[in-house]
Chain A
Amino acid sequence: MSNINTSINICGVEMKNPVTTASGTFGSGREYGEFVDLNRLGAVTVKGVAAHPWKGNNSPRIAETYGGMLNSVGLQNPGADYFMENDIPFLRQFDTKIIVNICGHSIEEYCEVAEKLSDADIDLFELNISCPNVSEGGIAFGTQPVMVEKVVSEVKKYTKRPLIVKLSPNVTDITEIARAAVSGGADALSLINTLMGMRIDIHRRKPVLANKIGGFSGPAVKPVAVRMVYQVSKAVDVPIIGMGGISNGDDAIEFIMAGATGVAVGTANFANPFATIEVVEGIENYMRKYGIKDLSEIRGIID
């Protein structure tokens, strides 16, 4: 253990290891904190927080697919006030960084939640302009470079902590969106959010999800995510948190080699409540096996 260094630095925030959670799959850590020691995670990225409570979409919100799943939760959350009162004190009991994912229906709402949280005891913001499950905001902001730059630069006025911008894979050229986010002031990028997908129940002749369309995630999306992290890492100079189908340490190493500094575990938590810790341990095992002392030795090594 002593001769390997798993720590990373994202915009001045030191994480003991690169592993965090994908927003929306881990709540604010309470539920999975009963299975894993949150002190062992580099950071916890919480479920999207809006300025005011959101009710989310109708059920069914979940559909399994081959090697993955669809969700159309629609960012149900109890709002920033509840989050600050309940979840930040909970997470601060642990030696892990707090990344707060923020969401809105409009630029004003994004700015409002960023302002509300600007003095909160958190480490990093993650701006969610890529959720496919809300009709206004979300992905509507994340798929047009002009809008991406605008929303990022506006929100940036209110964030006193480094700002990660989470990108949607539902675009023709991810590097164009990444560049727009960086020119808007993004300090780091995270990708990928879910891919838009659909499932139809052929017996009932209806979509499985009440929302018809949802976000596709899980092991099945990993090659798409690795490709996009690779492309973005070649296009911009900010740190990247890679995610999309990471279930074990080997998956995480793939993202790091593609150019990611951090890695997030999402859908794998549902299939295995210990997934986060297994990813941490898997990265350490890989490093020992190949005599890697620091992750910088393998980060972005693919030409």
Chain B
Amino acid sequence: MKSVSIAEIIKNENISENIYDMLISVPEIAKEAKAGQFINVYTGKGECLLPRPISICGIDEKKGTIRMVFQVVGKGTELFSALKAGDTVKVLGPLGNGYDISEECTNNVLIGGGIGVPPLLELAKRLKGKKQVFIGARTNPILVKEFKALGADVYVATDDGSEGFKGNAVELVRKINPDVDAIYSCGPKIMLKAVADWAEEKGIKAQVSMEERMACGIGACVGCAVKIKKEGESDWSNLKVCKDGPVFLSNEVVWNE
């Protein structure tokens, strides 16, 4: 039987505007988790009923810790931002399917936008071969140094040009035109669609991590639907981001909505 874990917070730091870096001790999740999965974090407050799905940014199996880098976007994440080392939080996971790591690929391109960047960090740790990481942000790109420390080539794009290339991450990808045989991405849907277009030109099925409003996080409520048309199927169907995803193949997502 599965259970909900009580995790102790080891640290919780404000690393950028509205962005927090939380490390929790939860060995049972750290033991199983893969890059690209997420966990449900419970607020413990009746008025904020639903768990918040938060992507896993780092997994340390030996220390039994999970790292989450999250953005304050509402009341639930605001509550999490106020938690301190020593506090506990209820979590459930790991949930969803992570990225599929292909051992044969030698030229990996990782494209992250906004708060979609964190799950790519654990992925970058696990990828063999060359890693070219494109980080997009409105103004403050996150985790840049950490990707560099992993030996990745890091390219930064900001909407306002305050750092790196002025524009979005996919425009920067097109400008750099990197050698590529595997594409991994996470970020806003509009960015993922641009990634899908670029991937199609390159003849590659990108792995894109989708986001949708969720209730249960485990596939029961069917709240987090995304339109997917599997290869060989004549029509799309609504799949669940939480259970069937969050990672889907870019050529199977029905983008035009």
The answer to whether A85 has its CB under 8 Å from any CB of chain B is no
> Contact partner of A61 among B2, B42, B48, B223, CB < 8 A?
B223
Closest Cβ–Cβ distance, residue B129 to chain A (whole Å): 35
| Chain B positions near chain A (C-beta within 8 angstroms) | 1-4, 42, 46-51, 74, 76, 92, 212-216, 218-226, 237-238, 243, 257
How many angstroms between the C-alpha atoms of A274 and B216 in the bound complex? 12
Q: Knowing A62-B221, A62-B224, A66-B47 are in contact, say whether A270-B215 is a contact too (CB < 8 A).
A: yes
Q: Knowing A31-B220, A34-B1 are in contact, say whether A59-B213 is a contact too (CB < 8 A).
A: yes
| Chain B facing A: main interface SS | loop
Are A271 and B51 in contact, with the CB atoms below 8 A?
yes
Contact partners of B47 in chain A: CB under 8 A: 66-67
How many angstroms between the C-alpha atoms of A61 and B221 in the bound complex? 10
Closest residue of B by beta carbon distance from A71? B223
Closest Cβ–Cβ distance, residue B119 to chain A (whole Å): 20
Q: Knowing A25-B221, A56-B238 are in contact, say whether A219-B49 is a contact too (CB < 8 A).
A: yes
The answer to whether A24 has its CB under 8 Å from any CB of chain B is yes
Are B224 and A55 in contact, with the CB atoms below 8 A?
no
Are A34 and B220 in contact, with the CB atoms below 8 A?
no
Closest residue of A by beta carbon distance from B48? A64
Interface pairs A-B: 10 shortest CB-CB: A62-B223, A31-B220, A62-B213, A27-B220, A60-B213, A270-B215, A270-B216, A271-B49, A34-B2, A31-B218
Size bracket, chain A contacts: 35 or more
Are B212 and A69 in contact, with the CB atoms below 8 A?
no
Contact partners of A55 in chain B: CB under 8 A: 237-238
Closest Cβ–Cβ distance, residue B110 to chain A (whole Å): 25
Are B50 and A69 in contact, with the CB atoms below 8 A?
yes
How many angstroms between the C-alpha atoms of A26 and B215 in the bound complex? 12
Are B49 and A73 in contact, with the CB atoms below 8 A?
no
Closest Cβ–Cβ distance, residue B243 to chain A (whole Å): 8
Closest residue of B by beta carbon distance from A218? B49
Are A31 and B216 in contact, with the CB atoms below 8 A?
yes
How many angstroms between the C-alpha atoms of A267 and B237 in the bound complex? 25
Are A71 and B212 in contact, with the CB atoms below 8 A?
no
* Chain A CB within 10 A, most for which of B48, B214, B223, B226: B223
How many angstroms between the C-alpha atoms of A288 and B28 in the bound complex? 36
Are A67 and B46 in contact, with the CB atoms below 8 A?
yes
The answer to whether A158 has its CB under 8 Å from any CB of chain B is no
Contact partners of A34 in chain B: CB under 8 A: 1-2, 218
Contact partners of B220 in chain A: CB under 8 A: 25-27, 31-32, 269-270
How many angstroms between the C-alpha atoms of A136 and B124 in the bound complex? 49
> Contact partner of B3 among A25, A35, A64, A218, CB < 8 A?
A35
Give me 14 other A-B pairs in contact (C-beta within 8 A), A24-B222, A59-B224, A62-B214 excluded. Answer: A31-B216, A35-B2, A55-B238, A56-B222, A60-B213, A61-B222, A62-B224, A66-B47, A67-B47, A219-B49, A267-B49, A269-B216, A270-B50, A271-B42
Contact partners of B224 in chain A: CB under 8 A: 59, 61-62
